[in-house]
Structure 1
Amino acid sequence: MSTTTETQSQCRRHRHKSYMCCSVRGSVCSLTLTLCVAVVCVGYSSPRALMSCGHSVTPQSLTDWCIRQLEEGKFRFTCGNCPAEWPYEEVRKMALLTENESSAFEHQMFTNVAVKELNAKLCPGCRSHVVRTDLTNLCVECPQCSCDKKQNISFCWQCLREWRGAAPRSDHCENTGCVNQALVTLRTCPNISFSEVQGVVGCPSVRACPTCGLLVEHSGEKCKNIVCPECEVEFCFVCLKITAECLETSDYFISCSSGVAPRQTRLPVRR
């Protein structure tokens, strides 16, 4: 199928925010090419073009689908109907992005990379992205603010307010209400009762992924292992070891040889 012959302005005269996708529990489901045309491109009247993966799109449906992925924090574009990843150059060409739209896409892609891969946060003062180099210290200097004001300007990585109190500290600053809610959850969540795993007693129902630190809750059903939805690493909910390591001395449905790992008091940080 050839690329669209409509002009760029014609392709966008019906721009809207209706994102055409089919998802199951947050994951885009796999569809056939026929369903792709019916679901992803429904409501779009422009001529369709074939992407490198073989699925059809219109410039507008492609633009809207990629905007949705950017708004979800992603920085790589994947087909809504198969696992294929689309190069940004292909997306820009097939979506007929204007210069302003390309700049907006690239800015958001960079922001998403900074947040997800570098664990960057926005400085509460200048709103620039800052990366924490000392993962044990909540007091973080903002290079931009320090440069502008010609003095050391720091903020709290936890409550995202101007730093108050002595530093370095790993628990909290002196701002009222500065508390790590994730650690509170890990400390106070109830224990879980596995329906199919034998011999496990006293395991918390919420764990921080040992790879990236995301809080994950186990339903108590089926095996003791779980796949983190953030980093996609599978780990044992009981001993907190990576699944492959746990299975060297245990099994999916029996207690771990090392026992139940204690409640976590610190959040792992992906390096």
Structure 2
Amino acid sequence: MNVPKCPICQQSDIGILDGQCAVCRSCSKSKRCVFQFCLACQREWPRDSSTTKSCMLPNCALRAALLSDTKISDPQSSVRGCPYFRACPGCKALLTHNGIGCPNIVCPHCERHFCFRCLRQRCFGVIHIEALALYTHRLSFFPDDVCPCRVVDNKQSLTVLGL
């Protein structure tokens, strides 16, 4: 089990107040006021909702799923090492990959095509990049529209998605 950490200082010197609400002792001391945050979505707890046990911030559950440490571990999967959950870059729907076939998927909600590994719209995937490298005889050369298909962390995509 992961020890909860403060989203600001990354310290584990926190106290769980009630439900999803936690307080960071280190940040509270340095800010000279009580710093509370949501354990799930890792954002500052709204000051006007101190009587509720559940976070009322928009997209809390979506952010919590995207911040999860769960990764796809099947060694046969083309998306091995990817976060289990992804948000569609188009409509922000929460998706997962079935592990079969290539990493490129189509969102069933908005029909946007994207790579589950790198989240780019135009990706030729790991297998195709190797073939392209053999074709061009240069491993370091990639045309501008080809992605080296590295797994992107969900934390990096939260800002892009506006979450």
Normalising by structure 2, we get a TM-score of 0.47
Normalising by structure 1, we get a TM-score of 0.30
Q: Which has the larger radius of gyration?
A: 1
Structure number with greater CO (CA < 8 Å, separation at least 6) is 2
